[in-house]
Amino acid sequence: MITNTLLKLIAVIVIFFVVNFAYAFTSLADDTVKAVAALSKQIKYSKNLELLDKSQQLLLQQIGRHVDDYLSLLGRYNQEDRLAILLAVAEQKGIVKKTEKLYLYRAVLKGKIEELHLINLLRIEKITKNSLPAEGVKTLDLIKKNGPFPYGKDGTAFNNREKKLPIRENSIYYQEYTVKTPGRLDRGARRIVIGKNGEIYYTEDHYQTFKAVTE
């Protein structure tokens, strides 16, 4: 027979969880949403990982390893994965509390946070524009001028099938351009790859390895 005391205890426990559940939907202020949105932009590219402290980098790496166990089979990150990484870092920085995660998840799905970027833990070497071969600099200049380009395939989509660059859902996120190789009549192995947000990558071995180009 359940005693009145036990019933009261159960009622208190139920009320506690209901209140906390409601809090998750109501307690997150708009400025917190904006703060998390700003954080997502801060860490949107692998080249920005150094902006985080070591504990946050370690957290990202731990999550990344766990996620990559099955995403290597899927070939893409889904929204829940990206959100999980974003929330983990946001919580680590003290921007959101555990009880606010559910509200934030709904806020993202409703579009309150406009950009939710995948965190890709690729380690890509950085070089400056001046470190490019002269033909690479010329290709970049042509890209800025929007041509004319010497090859018909210049400006076509680079699909990143081998996932050597940060993965994007948009299959035409990257575009490739030829970097001429002296003495060769064909396109050769050198390319410049441009991302829609202005990222610049250089490959000299036909997409086997890439270097991120900075000004």
Catalytic (active-site) positions: 176, 206
Tokens 């041509």 correspond to what residue? 147
Separation of alpha carbons 200 and 45, rounded Å: 12
Among residues 106, 131, 117, the alpha carbon closest in space to that of 212 is found at: 131
Cα 42 from chain centroid (whole Å): 10
Please name the residues in contact with 45: beta carbons below 8 A apart, sequence gap of 6 or more.
Answer: 117, 120, 166, 199
Cα 185 from chain centroid (whole Å): 38
Where are the extended beta strands (E) located within 32-158?
Answer: 125-128, 156-158
SS3 (DSSP) at 143: helix
Phi then psi for residue 114, to 5 deg, are -70, -35
Tokens 């989509």 correspond to what residue? 157
| Count of other CB atoms within 10 angstroms of residue 140 | 18
210 touches 201 (CB < 8 A): yes
Please name the residues in contact with 109: beta carbons below 8 A apart, sequence gap of 6 or more.
Answer: 79
